[in-house]
Chain A
Amino acid sequence: MKRLLLILVLLSVIPSDSLGVISSEGEAAVEKSTPLDISGVIFSHVGDAYEWHLMDTPWGSVALPLPVIVRSKTSGWHCFSSGKLEHGASYEGFRIGESGKVVETTPEGEVRPFDLSITKNVVSLILSSILLAVLILLSARWYRRHDVLHEAPKGIAALLEPLVMMVHTMALENIGEENYRKYSPYLCTAFFFILLNNFLGILPIFPGGANLTGNIAIAMVLALFTFFTVNLFGNKHYYKEIFWPEVPVFLKPIMPIIEVMSALVKPISLTIRLFANMLAGHIMILCMVCIIFIMAKFSPVLFGSMTAISVIFGLFLDLLECLVAFIQAYVFTMLSSIYIGLAHAKE
């Protein structure tokens, strides 16, 4: 272990001494070869796509074509394979525009049609939801088929029980004895959905790889579910606190504005916290990987040493992401339960 560290330190020291010498030659080398589109690589990895790109081979890229479902204002619904739009091809008047979204070419120019395509993220969403449903239903089946009073849970039930009970207990603590049962299933669903998709996002190969929880639409829907759960089922006291709180008279007209703002900001903060954390984590890992390709353009020594460093940092960030995956799921669920608890407070 010590020897390994020594080698790494040496590898990282040598190039830094000779960096000044290399860089002038290196710049020329970079200019000669095709420039690397690092931001393009990163954003294509964290963004959505109309096809599921699996890998690049010497004979071309392998991608899973997905259905494109669009509604044009003039010609109505269209449904076709994304394979038809590959390499900027146009099909039925649609093509993938500069923004990476399908656009329709009309006499007035390019317009965005109403787009309900089954994109990479939607497929990932469907797969992970099926996986989650199967896991939870298998676990529930164990409980239905066995006598819990005489048998310890085994397999999937034993794996999920501590997590389910963690969320259930959190609901009990934050919402209270009276109402927590009603909200516990929602909190559990949100927690497991976020956790599973966070982990699948870290996986670089096929079933994973889609940056689902780092997508603002997904985080927004989750936060809106929490928002409606809080605001549709709040008790009288909660609404009184918002619209007619017990404050000095001159504050009475201002307080509702502040309270409504705070109620609206809560889902926004939930959305941004989840989406930004996950997106940032993915981008950091991708940057670490991209360093290798950037350094390949420079000298072999720099390439070798930076590869070792970026692999180690990449591993560190991957482990950090595993932690963040859990923490974000936990934080989202905990804040949701606290907001629901506030809407059910007695006095």
Chain B
Amino acid sequence: MNLVTPDTGLLFWMVIIFGLLFFILAKFGFPIITSMVEKRNAAIDKSLKDAEEVEAMMVAAMKEHDEMIAEVRRAQSEILKEATEAKNTIIRKAREEARAESDKILSEARVQIAAEKESALRDIRKEVAVLAVSVSEKILREQLSSEAARKEYLDRLIDEAGSISTDIKPEEKVN
């Protein structure tokens, strides 16, 4: 049966044509396709790996970001607390200072008032003294208008003076 006996002609042509086809395709065909696809596969693998890395980096960055936000929040609340405290101290200090100042002013005012009072009193006393002197002068002049009265008064004055010196200051007398 010629179905199972290979023809020499067909064998010959097959070897030549298939050999030629193999040579052409192995030189200009398949290696180009496979190398390009492998190149693309490598690039895809690389970009997938890169994407993974970038994702990891992004996650880290997000974490850092969140941490930073938390940090900032904490700092913010701390600052606010400090600010409130500072405000309170400033107000307290200001109050204290104000109180101290007012106390000082008050005490100064008091001192001044006292001084004023003193000087006023002194003036009044001086005035009163002057008045008293002038009044007593007038009275004396009135009383001592007569000679007799004048004499009697002088005597009394002398007596008084003498009793004072004997009663109160014996030492002075000795000296």
> Which positions in A face B, CB cutoff 8 Å?
43, 46-48, 69, 99-101, 114-119, 121-122, 125-126, 129, 132-133, 136-137, 139-140, 143-144, 148-149, 157, 160-161, 164-165, 168, 181, 184-186, 188-189, 192-193, 215-218, 220-222, 225, 279
Contacts and interface: CB of A to CB of B under 8 A. Distances in A.
B24 interface: yes
Contact of A221 (B14, B26, B39): B14
B59 interface: no
B18 A222 contact: yes
Nearest to A169: B34
A110 B12 CA distance: 23
A275 to B, nearest CB: 8
B72 interface: no
Nearest to A162: B37
30 contacts: A43-B3, A47-B2, A99-B2, A116-B12, A116-B13, A119-B10, A125-B10, A125-B14, A126-B13, A129-B21, A137-B25, A140-B30, A140-B33, A143-B33, A148-B43, A164-B30, A164-B33, A165-B34, A168-B34, A184-B34, A185-B25, A185-B29, A186-B26, A188-B25, A189-B21, A215-B6, A216-B3, A217-B6, A218-B10, A221-B18
B25 A189 contact: yes
B54 interface: no
A161 B13 CA distance: 29
B21 A193 contact: yes
Given A129-B21, A161-B37, A165-B37, A144 B6 contact: no
A149 B41 CA distance: 9
Nearest to B34: A168
A132 B7 CA distance: 24
Given A217-B11, A221-B14, A221-B18, A101 B33 contact: no
A185 B22 contact: yes
Nearest to A221: B14
Kindly state the interface size class of chain B when it binds its partner: 20 to 34
A125 B15 CA distance: 11
B17 interface: yes
B33 A129 contact: no
Interface of B: 2-15, 17-18, 20-22, 24-26, 28-34, 36-37, 39-40, 43
A118 B9 CA distance: 8
A188 B30 contact: yes
B14 to A, nearest CB: 4
Contact of B30 (A69, A121, A185, A220): A185
B76 to A, nearest CB: 48
B8 A216 contact: no
Contact of A216 (B6, B26, B43): B6
Nearest to B12: A116
Given A43-B3, A116-B8, A125 B17 contact: yes
Given A47-B3, A116-B13, A140-B32, 19 more contacts: A46-B3, A117-B9, A125-B13, A132-B25, A133-B21, A137-B24, A137-B29, A148-B40, A149-B39, A149-B43, A161-B33, A164-B33, A185-B31, A193-B21, A216-B5, A217-B7, A217-B14, A222-B18, A225-B22
A115 B10 CA distance: 9
Contacts of B20: 129
B4, B32, B33, B36, most chain A CB atoms within 10 A = B33
A44 to B, nearest CB: 11
B7 A48 contact: yes
Nearest to A165: B37
Contacts of A140: 28-30, 32-33
A193 B37 contact: no
A115 B7 contact: yes
Contacts of A216: 3-6
Contacts of B28: 137, 140
A46 B2 CA distance: 11
Given A121-B10, A129-B21, A189-B21, A221 B15 contact: yes
A189 B18 CA distance: 9
A121 B29 CA distance: 25
B6 A220 contact: yes
